[in-house]
């Protein structure tokens, strides 16, 4: 089990859909979140992409020296940059960070945004382009270890004598992640990527998606790893957690929800459509759980106004750990999590839930320092002892 956190390069807040309680998207804040994730023992951080975000490649490069073990899941955007240039960027970032680069393929689902970036291909052709892009990108990096050139002639891309002279630290290339829910997306994942990601749908829906991707991958003689993207709202008690969920959307109004849902409906992303179907724009301020708890402790309220990942695990530490283990039992290894605001919630999740997760994960976490107390000194005299780790939640 590998748990990643999220750096909110589009801004952060205590409340969704309002400027109240908002935080500016600054480098200092991003660095705080990254250092917290690194010191708490998260595997890595996801850096989002799109016109509403700061550039993920530049930010990841700027955080190398601020972190020690943290990996960076950075977006690869076919059609917005040539595969040879993207391969060199990946090789440099991976090498300079000591092999800490993970690459997240993003084909895009908002036609208006894509056209603003100069990409006018319809959904199916974007996946054709992505397949060619990944073929070139992977081959260039794989061949860079031996200095071999590449010739490629496709429908959308052609390369003659392509080379990457400085290879990445990872072999044959930094691991490739990808999430998509369409037929074309499942085919691309089965053929090209290393880890398939799903958004946080109910376990039965996730199981069906994973089974389909596994079947398609087997046809290519391949086996993939799998992961999920979720928000988390965890508190000491279940009641406190649901109150926190209500607080998160406490400044939303129907007009804001309607405007966001209208925009999501215009996108050609199948995954975004599936997220919208979970919440259907239903919003009852007096009972945020009603109609939006789509599976035990799985809340679709975030997707009322947030694009992409629109569900959150809500509950006490034991409940959240149990839900994570249910997903793990389906074959998920990567859990890419986030919470509002991201700095505090990175600490809260690590402190409340990490001790309940499998022993293998706990052993991999950084060891506590022996040069200082565990907690605050009591009455200037007594140093509290470290609490024993509780039994982790099993997947059975």
Do residues 46 and 336 touch, judged by C-beta distance below 8 A? yes
Q: pLDDT per residue over 333-391, tens digit each?
A: 999 999 999 999 999 999 999 999 986 776 777 765 545 555 666 665 666 766 666 66
Res. 103 pLDDT band, cuts 50 70 90? very high
Q: Which domains does the chain have, with CATH numbers?
A: 2-229+316-364 (3.20.20.30)
**Looking at residue 111, what is its pLDDT?**
80
In whole angstroms, how far apart are CA 212 and each of 182, 186, 218, 233, 327? 11, 8, 10, 30, 16
pTM of the predicted protein model: 0.92
Burial class (CB in 10 A: 0-12, 13-18, 19+), 134: buried
Going by C-alpha positions, the residue among 246, 217, 387, 225 that lies closest to residue 312 is 246
Cα–Cα distance for residue pair 277/348, rounded to 1 Å = 30
**DSSP state at residue 78:** B
CB within 8 A of 239, min separation 6: which ones?
Answer: none
**DSSP state at residue 187:** H
Backbone dihedral region of 281: left (phi > 0), alpha (psi from -120 to 50 degrees) or beta? left
Other beta carbons within 10 angstroms of residue 156's beta carbon come to 15
Q: pLDDT per residue over 110-151, tens digit each?
A: 788 878 878 788 888 999 999 999 999 999 999 999 999 999
**Looking at residue 271, what is its pLDDT?**
87
Do residues 259 and 340 touch, judged by C-beta distance below 8 A? no
């Amino acid at each position: 089990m590998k748990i990643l956190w999220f750096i909110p390069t589009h801004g952060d807040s205590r409340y969704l859909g309002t400027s109240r309680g908002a935080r500016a998207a600054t480098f200092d804040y991003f660095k705080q979140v990254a250092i917290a994730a690194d010191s708490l023992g998260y595997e890595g951080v996801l850096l989002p992409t799109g016109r509403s975000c700061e550039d993920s490649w530049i930010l990841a490069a700027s955080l190398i020296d601020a972190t020690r073990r943290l990996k960076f899941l950075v977006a690869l955007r076919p059609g917005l940059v040539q595969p040879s240039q993207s391969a060199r960027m990946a090789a440099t970032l991976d090498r300079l960070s000591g092999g800490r680069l993970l690459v997240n393929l993003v084909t895009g689902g908002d036609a208006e945004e894509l056209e603003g970036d100069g990409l006018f291909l319809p959904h199916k052709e974007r996946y054709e382009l992505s397949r060619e892009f990944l073929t070139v990108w992977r081959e260039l990096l794989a061949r860079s270890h031996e200095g071999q050139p590449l010739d490629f002639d496709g429908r959308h891309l052609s390369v003659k004598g392509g080379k990457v002279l400085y290879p990445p630290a990872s072999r044959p290339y930094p691991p490739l992640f990808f999430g998509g829910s369409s037929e074309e997306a499942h085919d691309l994942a089965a053929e090209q990527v290393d880890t398939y990601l799903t958004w946080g749908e109910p376990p039965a829906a996730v199981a069906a998606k994973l089974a389909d991707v596994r079947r398609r991958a087997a046809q290519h003689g391949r086996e993939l790893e799998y992961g999920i993207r979720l928000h988390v709202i965890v508190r000491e008690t279940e009641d406190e957690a649901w109150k926190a969920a209500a607080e998160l959307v406490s400044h939303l109004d129907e007009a804001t929800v309607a405007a966001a849902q209208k925009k999501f409906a215009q996108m050609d992303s199948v995954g975004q459509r599936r997220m919208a179907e979970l919440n259907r724009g239903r919003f009852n301020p007096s009972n945020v759980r009603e109609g939006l708890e789509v599976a035990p402790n799985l809340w679709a309220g975030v997707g009322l106004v947030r694009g992409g990942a629109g569900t959150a695990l809500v509950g006490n530490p034991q409940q959240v750990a149990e839900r994570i283990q249910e997903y793990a039992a389906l074959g998920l290894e990567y859990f890419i999590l986030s919470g509002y605001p991201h700095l505090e919630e990175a600490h809260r999740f690590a402190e409340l839930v990490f001790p309940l997760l499998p022993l293998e994960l706990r052993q991999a976490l950084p060891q506590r320092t022996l040069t200082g107390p565990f907690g605050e000194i009591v009455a200037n005299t007594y140093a509290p002892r470290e609490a024993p780790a509780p039994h982790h939640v099993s997947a059975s």
